[in-house]
Amino acid sequence: MEEENKNPRKNWDFMIGIALVLFGSFRLYQRLQTESEWNYRVVLTVGLILYGGFLIYRHLKNKNTHED
């Protein structure tokens, strides 16, 4: 029963991860086109992209382990 309660949260984490990767990559591309220096905003954006990638990886890894 607890597995059923966690499933919507896992799906939301997956969607949030996709959004972070897509919007973060777009924002990083725009910022690096206008500015060539790396400041805290670029580092924060890269961190959010990596976190989004981690959420996607965790979702796909858990999905593959439950199919077995």
Other Cβ atoms less than 10 A from the Cβ of 21: the count is 19
> At residue 52, does pLDDT exceed 50?
yes
pTM of the model: 0.79
> At residue 6, does pLDDT exceed 70?
no
In the chain, the amino acid numbered 29 is Y
At 16, list the tokens: 């949030």
Give the pLDDT confidence of 9-50 residue by residue, as tens digits. 878 899 999 999 999 999 999 998 998 888 899 999 999 999
